[in-house]
Structure 1
Amino acid sequence: MALTIDIFLLLFLIATAIGILRTRHLFAMAMMFGLYSLLVASLFLLMDAPDVAFTEAAVGTGIATVLMLATLAATRRSSEKPRQRFSPSALIITLSTTALLFYGTLDLPNFGDPQAPLHTEMAGRFIEQGQQDTGVPNLVTAVLASYRGFDTLGEVTVVFTAGVGVLLLLKRRRKPVVRGKSHAR
């Protein structure tokens, strides 16, 4: 059943990505980016990574979508149509990066492998010595705040920066309109 849901979500991700590439309406594109991020968050949740799923949902689905919509509202419409041209160098860079990323995953243990170093070495150490090492009674808090402190700090920094960006966009200054003055000399 889980495999069926994974395949369905992946197919929906591909369809959403194709829809984003094919649409010319910016509002629809921003909303589809939000949907794409929500689907990625769902996949993270299915892979038992609720902290990453929550961050993706908050930043990708929430803040990033609001940022895109605020940017659309703050910009003027232009009748100029963007030029669409094929860039072989961009395609080569994208394919090379994709190949390197796939090559980098070859050394990773299989998903859910009970013999993975995380399960055989780290988990036991966290459970046995976590409270002594950190002084925090809650094991989850000890792992997130102490062992993964820099990672958690990075996630919080991203969320904070995105929030400040949204506030700055929404609080943009407008020029005061002076009524009753004539511009004629």
Structure 2
Amino acid sequence: MVIIIIDLVLLTLLCLTAFAIMLVRHLFAVVALTGAFSLLSAGLLVTLDAVDVAFTEAAVGAGISTVLMLGTLALTKRREATKPKLSPIGLMIIFLTGATLIYATPDMPKFGAADSPGLMHIVPDYIEGSKNDIAVPNIVTAILASYRGYDTLGEVAVIFTAGMGVIILLGRRREDEYGYSEDNAAFPLHPEGSDNTTGKDKS
């Protein structure tokens, strides 16, 4: 009963955070709310006994993504320039999608049911064979590292490529208006044509 109450509280906070993200126009607040959404999602995954997925969500969603968005925000404006527009077609698509999901939800198997289709196909082979085939005590680790090894390798390649792209974009040398390279030192000492004490242009 306590777990159900915690799940309901987390789901309510997730919905409120999602609506706040849609309504807020200050980009810094949006980044903060996005990080909070990731943390709430991680907490919900912990209550569902998916600790490995929760760890990934907390590290990537609330950690790295928030840092990258804050770094991007430092180079852009803090408020959204475009005005929100009400789209009747978009609202109709949202309502139709929501109605379809609500209609299909009762046909889904119960949470944790052993006779659900997803658990009757290949999962028993994973559970029975992971200990003998791979000799890894953690089934999740065995699945990610061996049975789904190529999939995991592809995910790692995507993350590595994205990280290299960010490093390349941030590592470019940018010359400021005085011809000073930001990669060589932290601050220019005395740019040409500026006062030594105030740094203002004498002209």
TM bracket (short chain): 0.7 to 0.9
Aligned to 1:42: 43
CA distance in 2, matches of 1:90, 1:101: 17
TM-score, length of structure 1 as denominator length: 0.77
- 1:40 deviates by 0.9
Aligned to 2:53: 52
Structure number with greater CO (CA < 8 Å, separation at least 6) is 1
- Are the structure 2 counterparts of residues 25 and 168 from structure 1 closer, same or farther at C-alpha, using a change threshold of 3 Å? farther
> Do the aligned residues in 2 keep the contact of 1:144 with 1:152 (CA within 8 Å)?
yes
C-alpha deviations, 1:108-151, integer Å up to 9, x for none?
Answer: 4211112224445544322333355xx42115332222223344
CA distance in 1, matches of 2:5, 2:106: 24
| Runs of at least 5 residues in structure 1 that lack an aligned partner in the other structure | none
Whether 1:90 and 2:90 are equivalent positions in the alignment is yes
Greater Rg by CA: 2
Whether 1:15 and 2:16 are equivalent positions in the alignment is yes
* Segment of structure 1 superposing worse, 150-159 or 6-15: 150-159
TM-score, length of structure 2 as denominator length: 0.71
In structure 2, give the amino acid aligned to 1:35: A
CA distance in 1, matches of 2:162, 2:63: 10
- Are the structure 2 counterparts of residues 46 and 162 from structure 1 closer, same or farther at C-alpha, using a change threshold of 3 Å? farther
Identity %: 48
CA distance in 2, matches of 1:104, 1:146: 34
Whether 1:180 and 2:192 are equivalent positions in the alignment is yes
**Runs of 4+ more than 6 Å apart:** none
Aligned to 2:134, the other structure's residue is in SS state: coil
> Do the aligned residues in 2 keep the contact of 1:67 with 1:169 (CA within 8 Å)?
no
- 1:13 deviates by 1.0
In structure 1, give the amino acid aligned to 2:128: E
C-alpha deviations, 1:53-84, integer Å up to 9, x for none?
Answer: 22222221112211211111112467x84222
- Are the structure 2 counterparts of residues 100 and 52 from structure 1 closer, same or farther at C-alpha, using a change threshold of 3 Å? farther
- Are the structure 2 counterparts of residues 164 and 101 from structure 1 closer, same or farther at C-alpha, using a change threshold of 3 Å? farther
Aligned to 1:125: 125
| Runs of at least 5 residues in structure 2 that lack an aligned partner in the other structure | 180-190, 194-203
CA distance in 1, matches of 2:156, 2:104: 27
Determine which structure has the larger helix proportion and give its number: 1
CA distance in 1, matches of 2:164, 2:102: 34
CA distance in 2, matches of 1:101, 1:73: 39
How many residues of Structure 1 are paired with residues of Structure 2 in the alignment?
178
In structure 1, give the amino acid aligned to 2:112: G
> Do the aligned residues in 1 keep the contact of 2:26 with 2:78 (CA within 8 Å)?
no
